[in-house]
Each structure stands twice: as C-alpha cells, then as structure tokens.
Amino acid sequence: MKRWLVPTLYIIFLMLPIYWLLAMSFKTTNEILGGFTLWPQQFTLENYKVIFNDPTWYWGYFNSMIYVTINTIISLAVALPAAYAFSRFRFTGDKHLFFWLLTNRMAPPAVFALPFLQLYSSVGLFDTHIAVALAHCLFNIPLAVWILEGFMSGVPKELDETAYVDGHSFGSFFFRIFVPTITSGIGVAAFFCFMFSWVELLLAKTLTAVDAKPIAAIMTKTASSSGYELGLLAAAGCLTIIPGAFVIYFVRNYIAKGFALGRV
C-alpha cells in the first residue's frame, strides 16, 4: 500500500464533479449530449463569450453580489451590538431571547416566501436588491449574533474595564479595541452570511423579476428556453463557484478558530 494512494483517491473523488463541470463548460452542447468524453474534443470558449457579452447573464452576477454584500453589511452591523449585549449584560429574558433568535433559522425559507412577497410588493420593494438583502437578514442576523457572541464571550470583561479606566469612551473602546480583538469572529460571521445569501435561491427568486434577479435564478430560466444549453449552464456554474472559493480562501484560518471555539 503506497502512502499517496488514499489521499489521491480522495482528491479524485472530491474533484470529479468540479472537473466534470469545468470540462462541460468548454464543450459544445452537442458534444455533451453526444456521448461520453473525458475531456473536450472540440474545445470552445463560446459558452463564456455568451455570458460575458449578454447583460442578462452578467448582471445576474452583479445582482447576486450586490444583495449579498448589502446583506452581509446589514447583518454584521446589527449583530455586533446585539452580540455584545448578550455577551456582556444579564437582562430579563436574555437566554430566552438568545434561543428565540436561533429558532428563526429552524423554519425553511419557503415559509417566509409568500409573506415577504406580499409585504414587499405592497411597500414597493419588490425586485430590488435591498428586498432580497433584508429577507436574508432574517436568517443571517441570528446566525451572526450566535457566532459573534461566542467570540465576544471569549474576550475577558477585564478588557472592557481596563479600557474604561484608561479613559476610553464606550465608542472608542468598541471600535478601536474590541472590534479589532474579534476580527476573526467577524470574519467567520461574514463568511457564513455571505455563504447563505450566495446560495439561497428560493427567496431571491421569489422576490425578484428582472432588475435584481440573481445568477442562480437566471440559470434555471436558461434551462427552459430552446432546449437545454448545457455548455452554457456549466460555464455559468463555474463562474458561480469562483466568488465562494475566493471568500473561503481568505477566511480559512478564521474558520478554524471558529470551530475551535465551538460556535460554528
């Protein structure tokens, strides 16, 4: 038994679907449907050209990124003070409230699709980026509070006291000392907000029509037009993986810390 055999098999199994997606994206639809080929026989960049030249395609990416970014910013901005309160103060019902926040994540997004659609239509938010961002907050804020509270509780209260004694006001302490101390927690929370919002399809699709339509929704639309454009879909899929891969690369060390703290 060679030592490299098991890891190699593991990586092959792991990479196979991604390789297949990548290979398909460089094939023509005819070749994909024609039979089994391990690598593109007629290598083509046509699929990518379509995506980069058609605004309905590339705006799908922009739309997704816009509402994901808005969502992550709102979630963190709201979760930071909330998590601080939960980690530092004892108040009536704090534990119940903390648990209740989590229960928001127990309901499937589909439950909220209809009320959100009706609500946003009636206040004129339908088909806007902010609508999707706000809808995702329902799931991401509790998660961010939960993660950040874990990191904040790991910082001793003596740090706060030392800062006050040194003359820092609450604001100065919070932004200049406390936030930099828990950057890894913020990184982990941001990552999970990004991931949920990036892959969530149902709410994003329900709450948008044209102007804020996410890439995943555009991919489902293509499937129903003139037959299946499998090559095009594969190319779009490859491009969808890239942002997630980037984010994971940047926060990989923080996530290890988060796991060590038991909150992820």
172 in contact with other proteins (CB under 8 A): yes
**Minimum CB distance to other proteins, residue 151 (Å):** 12
> What angle in degrees, to the nearest 10, is found between the helix axes of 183-199 and 55-88?
140
35 in contact with other proteins (CB under 8 A): no
- CB closer to other proteins, 87 vs 206: 87
261 in contact with other proteins (CB under 8 A): no
CA nearest neighbour of 25 among 201, 256, 233, 167: 233
- CB closer to other proteins, 93 vs 156: 156
108 in contact with other proteins (CB under 8 A): no
- CB closer to other proteins, 105 vs 168: 168
> What angle in degrees, to the nearest 10, is found between the helix axes of 183-199 and 129-153?
150
Distance CA 104, CA 112 (A): 11
**Minimum CB distance to other proteins, residue 251 (Å):** 18
CA nearest neighbour of 117 among 206, 197, 204: 206
177 in contact with other proteins (CB under 8 A): yes
User: Dihedral through CA 203, CA 117, CA 104, CA 187, nearest 10?
Assistant: 50
Backbone angles phi, psi at 152, to 5 degrees: -70, -35
**The one segment of 8-16, 26-34, 141-149, 178-186 that binds other proteins by CB under 8 A:** 178-186
**Minimum CB distance to other proteins, residue 262 (Å):** 20
- CB closer to other proteins, 100 vs 164: 164
Q: Which of 183, 199, 241, 253 binds other proteins (CB under 8 A)?
A: 183
**Minimum CB distance to other proteins, residue 104 (Å):** 32
Helix H or strand E segment including 55: helix 55-88
DSSP code, position 26: T
Residue with tokens 């996410």: 214
Distance CA 179, CA 168 (A): 14
**Minimum CB distance to other proteins, residue 89 (Å):** 14
- CB closer to other proteins, 96 vs 158: 158
Binding mask 138-167 for other proteins (x = CB under 8 A): ------------------x-xx-xxxxxxx
Q: Which of 180, 224, 226, 245 binds other proteins (CB under 8 A)?
A: 180
CA nearest neighbour of 114 among 201, 196, 200, 203: 203
Q: How far is CA 91 from the centre of its chain?
A: 32
**Minimum CB distance to other proteins, residue 22 (Å):** 40
Distance CA 39, CA 13 (A): 17
- What is the binding site for other proteins (CB under 8 A)? 156, 158-159, 161-169, 172, 177, 180-181, 183
